[in-house]
Amino acid sequence: DADVTQTPRNRITKTGKRIMLECSQTKGHDRMYWYRQDPGLGLRLIYYSFDVKDINKGEISDGYSVSRQAQAKFSLSLESAIPNQTALYFCATSDSGPGDQPQHFGDGTRLSIL
């Protein structure tokens, strides 16, 4: 089983719909992240959480919200989807140890908003 699991893997939906992307991890990491990836652009941070009671906005949080339901679960919601939110979304986790702790990514959710 994957250490960082994202569901769904693919989703096509219509403008105005509410969508939730889910992420769960078995790595025991405290820190979790949501990114989006668009062609020709670097990964951009949407939200991140250092523990269950800590939620922080990233570079592009407008139009998104998150919930950290447990140490292992971090979900991303699009309250009213719009076409420019079409992208590949990644969840990632990292340990809270020394500075060289890398981020570990899920397999991504390909989201298309029509």
- Write out the residues near another protein by the rule CB under 8 A: 4, 40-45, 48, 56, 58, 90, 99-100, 102-108
**C-beta closer to another protein: residue 70 or 98:** 98
Q: Are 35 and 44 in contact (CB under 8 A)?
A: yes
Residues 107 and 7 sit within 8 Å (Cβ to Cβ): no
Residue 22 and residue 108 in contact, taking contact as beta carbons nearer than 8 Å: no
Nearest to another protein of 26, 80 (CB atom): 26
Query: Distance (Å, rounded) from C-alpha 14 to C-alpha 95?
Result: 36
CA–CA dist 110, 49 (Å, integer): 22
Least gap, CB of 86 to another protein (angstroms): 15
CB of 76 to another protein, least distance (A): 16
Output 18 or 110, the one with its CB closest to another protein: 110
Nearer to another protein, 15 or 56 (CB): 56
CB of 102 vs another protein, minimal distance in Å: 4
The least distance separating another protein from the CB of residue 62, rounded to whole angstroms, comes to 17
- Give the other-Cβ count within 10 Å of 29's Cβ: 20
